[in-house]
Each structure stands twice: as structure tokens, then as C-alpha cells.
Amino acid sequence: MTATISGLSIIADRFDHVLLDQWGTLHEGMAVFPAALDCVTRLREAGKHILILSNSGKRASSNQRRLTALGLPADIYDGVLSSGEVTWRGLHAATQPPFADLGSACFLISRDGDRSIIDGLKLTVASDISDADFILLAGLDDAAAEPEQWRERLREAALSGLPMLCANPDLVMFGVTGLIPAPGALAAFYQSLGGTVSFVGKPHTPMFSAALERLGHPSPERILVIGDSLDHDIAGGRAAGMLTLLIGAGAHRQTLADTADVAQAIRSVAGAEARMPHWTMQHLSW
């Protein structure tokens, strides 16, 4: 049963490590929420290890610089683990699925022309999708977000059996005009065309395995996953055997607004016990 709490201090004795979501939990693109900043500071003072887990297709260093600019000092948490970073490290080692045996030429789809996800790797970037061994989907510009405009190119790629590695499984993102399709939506579109896709990021296993390794392999039962998405943060944390807390003011805010029974509203959205959080709170606070 999901319990509603007013602050993390109430359950602080239940965990030693925190996997903390970015968007919708710490900020919404403008500045880190004051209560969230205070909470991270107090978690640090309480001796908790704090790793920020993000579905960003960009490298960890890029995410850390942005968090600093938004008002989260780097010295009050232990680091950032982005799906882009996990993808880069996986491609660098190239020893385990889904990163092994992909080939040496990728067709790179990224936001703002960012190439950090392949920097230092033994990969070449194919200018035409027909010359690639695989598609590396790291991000999407707003103007390229609508999957339908990719139909012809991706249909041909699917027919030729070109695999896709998606480094950001989010289905929606905030664009200039509001919510628009995110890389995960384009990957799902590729699957609908018959293409094969491997996902890196929450809720998928490679992301949580990398987080466990980064934390030094503590017991999953002493790790708290905090985020605003049942699909990504909560489902991934539960599958990894971790504790979970849903931020109600994030992705599901409209569903959870003005409801008399928060737990039942969450259950309706979650659809299964395996996607139910252990706790919920409106905003991240201590």
C-alpha cells in the first residue's frame, strides 16, 4: 500500500542511498526548486549517498553543468548517471548486450548536434542511414520530434534489419510549444515499423545495474528511488528490488490533482502492483 508522507525525514532510517530523478523532481527547466535544494542538502548532512539518475541522452558531465547552472551545487551530491553516459560506457567496452556486436558505423540522431555520446569511441558517423550498421538515438530537436516525418527513412532501415540503440526512452519532453514526442516515442515508432530497438535508461535494467555498480553494490533494499514517473522511476526501481517514492507534482500531476484517495488514483495509473510506489509526496522536501 502506498503511504503519503510530508517529508523524507520521516523515512530517512529506511535507506542509505538515493537515486534521484531530475526533471519534475529537482526542477522543470528553469531553476532547482528551493525545497528540493534544501532536501538534497539535508540528505547529504544525514550521510546519504545521492546519485542523480537521468534519461538524458547527453553525457553525465553535460547534465552536471546544467544542474549547476540551475542552482544545484555539485558538492552536495555524489554524481550524475545519465542514460547517455551508460550508453557511452557500454559502447566503449562493447562486451555485453545491448552494446556488443553493433558494428562500427552509426547513424546518429541527437539534440543540438551533440556528439558527446560518441566522443572517444571507435565509431564513425554515417551521413546516410543506409550506410550505417546501427542507429544511435540520443536526442531529438523539437523540429524533428514528430515520428511521422521519419517514416520513410526508418521504414527502409527496419526492412534492412538495422538495429536501433535508444539512449533516452522518455516518451514525451517539453518543447517550445509544450509537450512533444521524445526519443522513446521515435523508438517505439521504429518498433511499429518492424525495427529492433534496445533501450538504455529508466526503467530498463542497464541503467539500474550501472547505478548499483556506481554505488558499490549495496543491498537494493537500502536504496530509495525518487522520481515523478511511474513508467520510468517507479517501475525501474521496483524491478530492481529498490524502495520507491513518487513525486505527485510531476508527470502525473493532473491525474493526482484534487483526489480524495491518492493511493487509489496512483493504483489506477500504475495498473499493477509492480509499478506502485512505496511512498508518495507532493514535492521533494525534507
pLDDT digits (tens, 9 = 90+) for 2-51: 888 999 999 999 999 999 999 889 998 889 999 999 999 999 999 999 99
Quote the CA–CA distance of 280 and 3 in Å, as a whole number.
6
| Residues 229 and 254 grouped into a single domain | yes
Q: How many structural domains is the chain composed of?
A: 2
Q: Are residues 212 and 161 in the same domain?
A: no
- Final residue before a domain boundary, out of 171, 199, 227: 199
Of 154, 145, 150, 138, residue with least CA distance to 193: 154
Q: Which of 199, 220, 255 is the last residue of a domain?
A: 199
Residue 251 lies in a domain: yes
How far apart, in whole angstroms, are the C-alpha atoms of residue 23 and residue 28? 5
- Domain enclosing residue 131, as ranges: 99-199
Examine the fold and report which residue of 182, 199, 216 is the final residue of a domain before the chain moves on: 199
Shared domain for 112 and 160, answered yes or no, is yes
- Measure the CA–CA gap between 188 and 194, rounded to whole angstroms: 10
Q: What is the residue whose three cell numbers read 571507435?
A: 122
Contacts 24+ apart (CB under 8 A), 110-113: 110/57, 110/138, 110/139, 111/57, 111/58, 111/138, 111/139, 111/140, 111/141, 112/139, 112/141
Does residue 273 lie in a domain region? yes
CATH number of the domain where residue 266 is located: 3.40.50.1000
pLDDT tens digit sequence for 189-244? 999 999 999 999 999 998 999 999 999 999 999 999 999 888 899 999 999 999 99
Question: Is the pTM value of this prediction over 0.75?
Answer: yes
